[in-house]
A and B are shown apart, each in its own frame.
Chain A
Amino acid sequence: MNKLRLYFAISSVIFLFVLAISPLKDFFSEWKGYQHEYNGMIKEMPQRIKPAEIGIKQIWVRKLDKVDRCNTCHLGLEEKALAGAKEPFRTHPHIYHNLEEFGCTTCHEGQGPATSYKESIGKVEYWDKPIFPREYMEASCGKCHKEQLVRQAPILSLGRKLIEEYNCVGCHKLEGYQRQWVPSLNGIGSKVNRPWLVNWLKNPKAYFSTTKMPNFQFSDEEVNILADFLMTLTSFPNNATLEPLPSQLVQVSGSRKTAMEELGSTRLREARCISCHPINGKGGYVATDLGKVASKVKQEWLYNYIKNPKHLQPNVEMPRFRFNENELAGVVAYMKSEYVDFDMAEPSAHTPDPQFYEKGLALVKKYNCSGCHELGNMKSYGELGPELSYVGSKKMYEIDFGQSGIDQSLSLYLFTKLKSPHIFSSKMKMPNYELGDEEAQAIVVALLGNTNEPIPEELIIRQKPVSTYAPQGEFGKLVNDLACFGCHTMFGHGRVVGTDLTLEASMAKREWIEHYFKVPYSLRPILTERMPNLFLSDDEIKTLVDYMEKVFIGDSLAIDITMNETTIAKGKLLYNERYACYACHQINGKGGFVGPPLDKVASRLQPGWIFHWLKNPQAYKPQSIEPNNNLTDQEAEALTAYLMTLH
């Protein structure tokens, strides 16, 4: 009986004790420790900072219906005085968004509701969105900012640009990206030499180091079959045919040949082909390398192509230079003699597979060549690879990591997949783009922003609809023939290699524009992409400038400037003293090299343009680095008056 009492006593004591453990654990929780530490820390500081009330704190992000409790421990997020404090108390660096409205995990990821370090970081089992490392942070911007260019997120913007440039939408379903123009394969058999094609298929970057064409890692057998198949594609789009080479190009020899080549060399330089085409890696970036082009393409094709590019490659953005027959022959002859690949590996002899056509067609379908290249009537479908619209919300259990042995994280998976596409399974068809670490990282950032989180429509900033501006009439024909959109933007349409022409007539004077077409000198000597000389006739120039004066004009930009001694003197003073414009601009050989020289600015620019530009440069050219000095109207007018004296 007494024994029973003893057992009863013991078990009762233990019973009460174990029941107290869990409340005690709560009492001494991690977050309380941080809050006490914070209160202790701010007491020592000279500034008066409001101490934290002990208790769990949270931000309820109403629009996204989620709760973040990070501020339970991160107590100094909005205390300016704590910029140098240790974590977790440090001030948050400048935030573009209101903390109360967006919370923390909207940008940082991690497990918002958690109240312990380990759980909130989110690197725990069954939580697939651990906190973003710094280099992937910008992915979160992409959740709402769906425009191509997000100014404060350079990595994200780069990633989006790369996704577009590499034409990922050729194989993957992904909203918001334009398909890129890629040379048509129709007629390739009449265009290239087979040895070049074999080498190209094996490793495109060996020929052109910055090509967007990826390495498909074909086997030698596949390369031969594909080359044989592609060489059968001899007819061009729209039933175009090749004109025979002119007689002066075929029969010429000796000193006449040298003279012809010299003419070609001069025209080639004047036409500034190098603005778009690199030559052995040096030069522009928008078009293919010409350094070894004579070994790549047949001479007949080259002659026909330069004569009328869009005839053989509709939609190509190459201007039709106004060469006469002699000049044309010279250019082709020069290229033929100069741009040869002397080291090109001769492919080993082979006998074509008797079924090469069927097998080649099967390979073309398997690797989805028509995803990028036009090829007969083959559909270009974007569903060979997995859809990427919500790739940022992929769960770990949806991913097959294979035998790769990498850490199970989505960002690392995507990065590894981009760098070595076949690592997770040898059956994968994705080609190798041979991306650098930074490029791959940028693409991952852009992809991670594609989530299926329920974000209310009012928070999403969409890409502005693509401009469909297409000029008509004589001007339109010229713009198409000269491929102006390949470098210039007009009313939101076109590339931004050169200037935006939308307000050109408000900006520049007619005489200057006309002169510029004839002698396209460089405003900024440091640029590589310079306006080519298109050898236009006076009539053509008149058509162009007439149209520009009617259309490329902003009515509100024209103003009258009072030119008198006082304003000019005041403007000069502002130029030299107050705003020190010479730090970037040159006048009479004095000043910096960042901006264009202002020597003859009065004969180039309209006064109204200068005035408005000075008031707010970014309004006209968002990426301009010209500072916005918040000039008053009087200051801008004075500066304009001064600049208008520089003829």
Chain B
Amino acid sequence: MKKLLHQLYRSQVWRSIFRHGLPESNRTRAEAVFYNFFLHVHPTKVRKRSVIFSYTWGLGGLSFGLFIVLVATGALLMLYYRPSAPQAYWDMKDLQFVVSSGQFLRNMHRWAAHAMVAVVFLHMLRVFYTGAYRPPKEFNWVIGVILLVTTILLSYTGYLLPWDQLSFWGISVGTNMIRAMPLGLGEKVSFLLLGGNIVGENALVRFYVLHCFIIPVAAIMLMVIHFWRVRKDGGV
């Protein structure tokens, strides 16, 4: 058995995928991080202090983890969803009744979204109270604040999509706040956002595109910068 595995590790196919040996020595361990696309955001060595859980509570990492969960479940949900009224509502019912694990997917997506808003907020508090926004990380803090706003917007745009009373009126209340903007700007902005004067099918399509494409892409770009900066400023 062991022999067979060893043969596998030495085979050309394996070596073409993983260019390093088994992480048994410090050199191969360093290589494991170094040569791996997903891990190379990390340095090969980190301060022992920063590996301790209570140092950061892992909140930034968890936020990213929740984002991964949301992208995965969200992409699957998109397969069953039509952004039109009233089909959107019946698609929710179909998710519940006929899609394998459909209700489970929706639950995961919903609760992960709520959790992400909370975790990102907590992450901001942690950064503030540990003073981790001090120079040279001040701009990364700004990106972080924008990411918090982005997260809330992501959650909020997704709130409309089930097209039930809860979502319809939740969005109506929110967009009415925008209308209070001075200089007649409110009406214009809310019209732009809703594609009309009230929440309707146009708003549903706009929120769908915002939720599934525009805001996630923006969030991913900001996240890339955020992580890159963390690393450049001496973090993990």
Residues of A within 8 A of B (CB): 22-23, 25-26, 56, 69, 111, 113-116, 119, 126, 397
Residues of B within 8 A of A (CB): 90, 93-94, 96-98, 100-101, 104, 164-165
Bound form: Cα–Cα A344–B8 in Å: 110
- A69 CA / B165 CA spacing, docked (Å): 25
B97 and A26 within 8 A (CB) = no
Interface pair A56/B98, CB less than 8 Å apart? yes
Q: How far is the CB of B152 from chain A (nearest CB, A)?
A: 27
Residues B97 and A115 in contact, CB atoms below 8 Å apart: yes
Contacts of B93 in A (CB 8 A): 111, 113-114
Q: Which of B93, B94, B97, B101 has its CB near the most chain A CB atoms (within 10 A)?
A: B97
Contact B101 A23 (CB under 8 A): yes
Would A114 and B97 count as touching, CB distance under 8 A? yes
Cβ contact of A113, chosen from B90, B100, B164, B165, cutoff 8 A: B90
In contact, A115 and B101 (Cβ under 8 angstroms): no
Chain B: CB-nearest residue to A119 = B97
Q: What residues of chain B lie closer than 8 Å to A113, measured between beta carbons?
A: 90, 93-94, 97-98
A22–B101 touching, CB < 8 Å: yes
Bound-state Cα–Cα, A564 to B64, Å: 104
Secondary structure at chain B's binding surface: helix, strand, loop or mixed?
helix
Minimum CB–CB distance for A23 against chain B, Å: 6
Q: Evaluate whether A69 and B104 lie within 8 angstroms (CB atoms) in the complex, with A113-B90, A113-B93 already known.
A: no
Residue of B nearest to A29 (CB): B100
A116 contacts across to B, CB distance below 8 A: 97
Assembly CA distance A114 to B103 (angstroms): 12
User: How distant is A27 from chain B, measured CB to nearest CB, in Å?
Assistant: 9
Enumerate 15 A-B pairs (CB-CB under 8 Å) in ascending A order. A23-B101, A25-B101, A26-B101, A56-B98, A69-B97, A69-B98, A111-B93, A113-B98, A114-B96, A115-B97, A115-B98, A119-B96, A119-B97, A126-B164, A397-B165
Chain A hits for B100, CB < 8 A: 23, 26
* Distance, CA A621 to CA B101, complexed state (A): 59
> Who on chain A is nearest to B93 by CB?
A113
A119 CA to B97 CA, complexed, in Å = 9
What distance in Å separates the Cβ of B106 from its nearest Cβ neighbour in chain A? 11
User: Cα distance A4–B115 when bound, in Å?
Assistant: 26
Chain B residues closer than 8 Å to A56, beta-carbon distance? 98
Of the candidates A22, A111, A115, A397, the one whose C-beta lies within 8 Å of that of B104 is A22
In angstroms, Cα B165 to Cα A156, docked, is: 33
Chain A positions within 8 Å of B94 at CB level: 113
Q: A22-B101, A113-B97, A114-B93 are in contact. List 15 more A-B contacts (CB 8 A).
A: A22-B104, A23-B100, A25-B101, A26-B101, A56-B98, A69-B97, A69-B98, A111-B93, A113-B90, A113-B93, A113-B98, A115-B97, A116-B97, A119-B97, A397-B165
| Bound Cα distance from A23 to B96, whole angstroms | 13
Residues of A within 8 A of B104 (CB): 22, 25
Interface residues of A, dominant DSSP: loop
Residues of B within 8 A of A22 (CB): 101, 104
Distance of A26 Cα from B98 Cα, bound (Å) = 10
Q: What residue in chain A is nearest B101 (Cβ atoms)?
A: A22
- Which residues of the other chain, B, contact A25 by a CB distance below 8 angstroms? 101, 104
Report A-chain residues with C-beta under 8 Å of the C-beta of B97. 69, 113-116, 119
CB distance from B46 to the nearest CB of A (A): 15
Q: Considering the complex, give the chain A residue whose CB is closest to the CB of B103.
A: A22
A119 to B100, alpha carbons, bound, how many Å? 17
Residues of chain B lying within 8 A (CB to CB) of residue A397: 165
Residue on B with the closest CB to A397?
Answer: B165
Residue of chain A at shortest CB distance from B104:
A22
What distance in Å separates the Cβ of A243 from its nearest Cβ neighbour in chain B? Answer: 67
A196 CA to B3 CA, complexed, in Å: 112
Closest to B97 in A: A115
Shortest Cβ gap from B51 to chain A (Å): 10
Q: Nearest chain A CB to B48's CB is how many angstroms away?
A: 13
Chain A residue, CB-CB nearest to B107: A22
CB distance from A104 to the nearest CB of B (A): 14
Residues from chain A with a CB closer than 8 A to the CB of B98 are 56, 69, 113, 115
A130 CB → nearest B CB, Å = 15
B98 nearest CB neighbor, chain A only: A56
Complex Cα gap A126–B163 (Å): 13
Q: How far is the CA of A56 from the CA of B93 in the complex (A)?
A: 15
The complex places the Cα of A616 from the Cα of B96 at a distance, in Å, of 54
- What's the least CB distance linking B161 to chain A, in Å? 17
B25 to chain A, nearest CB (A): 15
- Closest residue to B166 on the A side, CB-wise? A126
Q: CB-nearest residue of chain A relative to B99?
A: A26
Closest 10 pairs between A and B when the two form their complex, measured CB to CB = A22-B104, A22-B101, A115-B97, A113-B93, A26-B100, A114-B97, A113-B97, A56-B98, A26-B101, A23-B101
Residue of B nearest to A58 (CB): B98
Distance from A128 Cβ to chain B, minimum over Cβ atoms (Å): 12
Complex Cα spacing A194 to B14, Å:
108
| C-alpha gap A56/B94 in the complex (Å) | 12
Q: What is the CA–CA distance of A126 and B164 in the complex, to the nearest angstrom?
A: 10
Specify the chain B residue showing the minimal Cβ separation from A115: B97
CA distance A397 to B90 in the complex (A): 20
CB-defined contacts of B101 to chain A, threshold 8 Å: 22-23, 25-26
Cα A26 to Cα B93 with chains together (Å): 16
The distance in angstroms between the C-alpha atoms of A113 and B165, with both chains bound, is 19
- B102 (CB) vs chain A CBs: closest residue: A26
Roughly how many angstroms separate A113 CA and B90 CA in the complex, as a whole number? 9
Q: In the complex, A116→B94 CA distance in Å?
A: 12
Residues on B with C-beta less than 8 A from A126 are 164
Q: Which residues of A contact B164 (CB under 8 A)?
A: 126
How far is the CB of A8 from the nearest CB of chain B, in Å? 14
CB distance from B89 to the nearest CB of A (A): 11
Cα–Cα distance between A114 and B164 once the two chains are bound (Å): 17
In the assembled complex, the Cα of A113 lies from the Cα of B102 at a distance in Å of 14
Residues of A within 8 Å of B96, CB to CB, are 114, 119
Q: Complex formed: what's the CA distance from A119 to B104 in Å?
A: 17
Residues on the B chain within 8 Å of A115, using CB: 97-98
Q: What residues of B have a CB within 8 angstroms of the CB of A119 in the complex?
A: 96-97
What is the CA–CA distance of A113 and B164 in the complex, to the nearest angstrom? Answer: 16
Least Cβ distance of A16 to chain B in Å?
15
* Assembly CA distance A126 to B94 (angstroms): 16
Q: Please report the C-alpha to C-alpha distance between residue A126 and residue B162 in the assembled complex, in whole angstroms.
A: 14
Tell me the complex Cα distance, A119–B98, Å: 12
A7 vs chain B, min Cβ distance (A)? 11
In the complex the two chains form, what is the Cα distance from A56 to B97 in whole Å?
10
Chain B proximity of A550: nearest CB distance (Å): 59
- Within the assembled complex, what's the spacing in Å between the Cα atoms of A113 and B99? 12
- How far does the Cβ of B109 sit from chain A's closest Cβ, in whole Å? 13
What is the minimal beta-carbon distance from A609 to any residue of chain B, in angstroms? Answer: 57
CA distance A427 to B178 in the complex (A): 40
Q: In the docked arrangement, what's the CA distance between A126 and B166, Å? A: 11
- A120's nearest neighbour on chain B, judged by CB, is B97
CB proximity of A122 to chain B, nearest CB, Å: 12
Complex: A56 Cα to B98 Cα, angstroms: 7
- Residues of A contacting B165 in the complex (Cβ-Cβ under 8 angstroms): 397
Give the shortest distance, in Å, between B133 (CB) and chain A (any CB).
31
In angstroms, Cα B93 to Cα A116, docked, is: 12
- Which single residue of chain B is at the shortest CB-CB distance from A116? B97
Q: Which residues of B contact A26 (CB under 8 A)?
A: 100-101
